[in-house]
């Protein structure tokens, strides 16, 4: 692997971990077990190349090359590739384009994959041929992704990943987007027996910075989280979180990552995880989310989000365990120090803002009258950002606790901020609260009723005072509301 493909700042243990992906020495059988087992069986089913030649399905040149190449002697193959590189690419691409039988295609793909696995520099054979013929190196492979046979599509995807990652020439953007979108869609296929193979392709691709941004552009992060939120085994968990981890080595992506609620997702998995490899990779993601952003404010927000998601409690539990990997203990120590430091600097408003942005509202200490007396007006900041989130939660959340707390908070905002009723009405919150009066959960109905009462009482309680303030040009009046978002 070239040094540019190892994320900058990775410690030696982590560099070894990433390099091992290329060497296929660690987790290879587990990561692609179905594909590997099937490949082992298919290798024993030799193809009668003579019959293909006699029926004029392949040319004399292709027949001559493939019969010389399809031998168990690796030294003989190496000699052949040194003297006839151009014919190698031509023959394999001709076979992929003209052979229609699934079993034969499966065998051809294994020959190509084994050839590349023996020596990764052989990926250049295809690029040299494509440059000489002025054809796309990717077309013949991408076309195979449309086949119905799962082994063919996933072995092809594996070969594409190797050519894309091991060659000097990067994958062109349109082909790259097509390939990454295909991988993303495969992750979403229900009960996909090849999902670990798909994950491995992504683990390889996302080590390369250019490919990371392309993956994000096809909504890749949301897809990873969607799959992680379902029932997947620990191996798939590890692979997909590994993908998130390598993404966070890019500072820009590390800054944007929690906009997808990555921290709450991973905090939940961390609390349930019983596998050290899964724990290790989650801690590594959290560390990057603090270390990699160039904006210190973003790092601070990530720390607060982790505190809000009870990561400190998990770290306390992890501190009591012994680990085979010393990096786990190092990350636990680092994160504990950073999160404890952020707690000391945390204002109640910071804590409240983090909770709201996480979408995981609960009856935490900030939901008290004292907080609202001191901070109600601050919800007008950033074009009512936090109020908009609360209103959005009222409209979209299915969680009774979230709906109860959001209703309470809106009522308190209205009670403690004179123009609150007007603001909430403009944001569409009043109608949503009133709809919750018919909610099936009694706690939601109760909090919605209290909020509605505060919205109504506000008309009388503050009407006279507000008229006086507006006439005197109160400097603390709410800013104008610019379009709903």
pLDDT band at 376 (very low <50, low <70, confident <90, very high): very high
Q: State pLDDT tens for residues 255-307.
A: 999 889 999 999 999 999 889 999 999 999 999 999 999 999 899 889 988 98
pLDDT value at residue 27: 43
pLDDT value at residue 146: 94
Q: State pLDDT tens for residues 34-46.
A: 998 899 999 998 8
pLDDT value at residue 471: 53
pLDDT band at 438 (very low <50, low <70, confident <90, very high): very high
pLDDT band at 342 (very low <50, low <70, confident <90, very high): confident
DSSP at 230: S
Global pTM exceeds 0.95: no
The closest of 462, 461, 391 to 423, measured between CA atoms, is: 391
| Domains of the chain, start order | 29-210 (1.25.10), 219-346 (1.25.10.10), 367-459 (1.25.40.150)
pLDDT band at 370 (very low <50, low <70, confident <90, very high): confident
The mean pLDDT value of the chain amounts to 87
Is residue 255 classed exposed, middle or buried when 0-12, 13-18 and 19+ CB atoms within 10 A define those classes? buried
Q: State pLDDT tens for residues 445-456.
A: 999 999 999 988
3-state percent helix, strand, coil for the chain, nearest multiple of 5: 75, 0, 25
pLDDT band at 477 (very low <50, low <70, confident <90, very high): low
pLDDT band at 407 (very low <50, low <70, confident <90, very high): very high
Q: Which two tokens stand for residue 312?
A: 């400190």
- Taking residues 150-165, report their average pLDDT: 97
Q: Which two tokens stand for residue 115?
A: 């050839």
DSSP at 137: S
pLDDT exceeds 90 at position 462: no
Q: How far apart are CA 206 and CA 164, in angstroms?
A: 11
More confidently predicted of 164 and 365? 164
pLDDT exceeds 90 at position 218: yes
pLDDT exceeds 70 at position 158: yes
pLDDT value at residue 364: 82
- Contacts for 154-157: CB closer than 8 Å, 24+ residues apart: 154/35, 154/186, 154/194, 154/197, 154/198, 155/35, 155/39, 155/106, 155/109, 155/110, 155/113, 156/109, 157/182, 157/183, 157/186, 157/197, 157/198, 157/201
- Contacts for 462-466: CB closer than 8 Å, 24+ residues apart: 462/418, 465/418, 466/418, 466/419
CA distances from 366 to 279, 335, 354, 371, 409 (A): 30, 24, 11, 6, 10
- Contacts for 144-150: CB closer than 8 Å, 24+ residues apart: 144/96, 144/105, 144/109, 145/179, 145/182, 147/102, 147/105, 149/102, 149/105, 149/106, 150/193, 150/194
pLDDT band at 7 (very low <50, low <70, confident <90, very high): low
Q: State pLDDT tens for residues 47-92.
A: 999 999 999 999 999 999 999 999 988 899 999 999 889 999 999 9
**Residue 379 contacts residue 386 (beta carbons within 8 Å):** yes
């Amino acid at each position: 692997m070239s040094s540019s493909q190892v994320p900058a700042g990775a410690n030696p243990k982590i560099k070894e971990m990433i390099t091992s992906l290329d060497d296929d020495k660690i987790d290879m059988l587990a990561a692609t077990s179905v594909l590997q087992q099937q490949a082992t069986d298919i290798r024993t089913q030799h193809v009668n190349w003579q019959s293909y030649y006699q029926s004029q399905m392949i040319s004399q040149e292709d027949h001559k090359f493939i019969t010389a190449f399809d031998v168990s002697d690796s030294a003989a193959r190496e000699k052949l590739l040194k003297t006839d590189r151009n014919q190698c690419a031509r023959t394999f691409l001709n076979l992929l384009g003209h052979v229609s039988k699934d079993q034969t295609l499966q065998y051809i793909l294994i020959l190509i994959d084994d050839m590349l696995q023996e020596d990764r520099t052989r990926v250049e054979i295809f690029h040299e041929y494509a440059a000489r013929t002025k054809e796309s190196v990717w077309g013949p492979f991408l076309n195979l992704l449309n086949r119905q046979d799962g082994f063919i599509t996933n072995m092809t995807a594996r070969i594409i990943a190797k050519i894309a990652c091991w060659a000097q020439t990067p994958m062109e953007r349109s082909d790259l987007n097509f390939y990454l979108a295909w991988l993303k869609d495969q992750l979403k296929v229900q009960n996909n027996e090849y999902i670990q193979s798909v994950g491995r392709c992504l683990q390889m691709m996302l080590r390369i910075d250019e490919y990371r941004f392309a993956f994000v552009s096809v909504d890749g992060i949301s897809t990873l989280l969607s799959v992680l939120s379902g029932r997947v085994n620990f191996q798939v968990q590890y692979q997909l979180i590994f993908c998130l981890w390598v993404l966070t080595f890019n500072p820009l992506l590390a800054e944007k990552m929690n906009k997808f609620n990555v921290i709450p997702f991973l905090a939940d998995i961390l609390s349930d995880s019983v596998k050290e490899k899964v724990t290790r990779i989650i801690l590594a993601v959290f560390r990057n989310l603090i270390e990699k952003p160039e904006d210190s404010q973003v790092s601070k927000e990530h720390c607060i989000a982790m505190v809000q998601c009870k990561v400190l409690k998990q770290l306390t539990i992890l501190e009591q365990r012994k680990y085979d990997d010393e990096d786990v203990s190092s990350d636990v120590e680092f994160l504990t120090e950073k999160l404890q430091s952020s707690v000391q600097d945390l204002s109640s408003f910071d804590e409240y803002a983090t909770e709201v942005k996480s979408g995981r509202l609960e009856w935490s200490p900030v939901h008290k009258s004292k907080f609202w007396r001191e901070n109600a007006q601050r919800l007008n900041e950033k074009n009512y950002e936090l109020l908009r989130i609360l209103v959005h939660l009222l409209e979209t959340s299915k969680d009774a606790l979230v709906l109860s707390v959001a209703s309470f908070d809106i009522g308190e905002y209205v009670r403690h901020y004179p123009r609150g009723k007007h603001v909430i009405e403009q944001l569409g919150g009043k109608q949503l609260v009133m709809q919750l009066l018919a909610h099936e959960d009694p706690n939601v109905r109760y909090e919605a009723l209290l909020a509605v009462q505060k919205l109504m009482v506000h008309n009388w309680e503050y009407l006279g005072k507000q008229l006086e303030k507006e006439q005197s040009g109160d400097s603390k009046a709410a800013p104008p509301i610019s379009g709903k978002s």
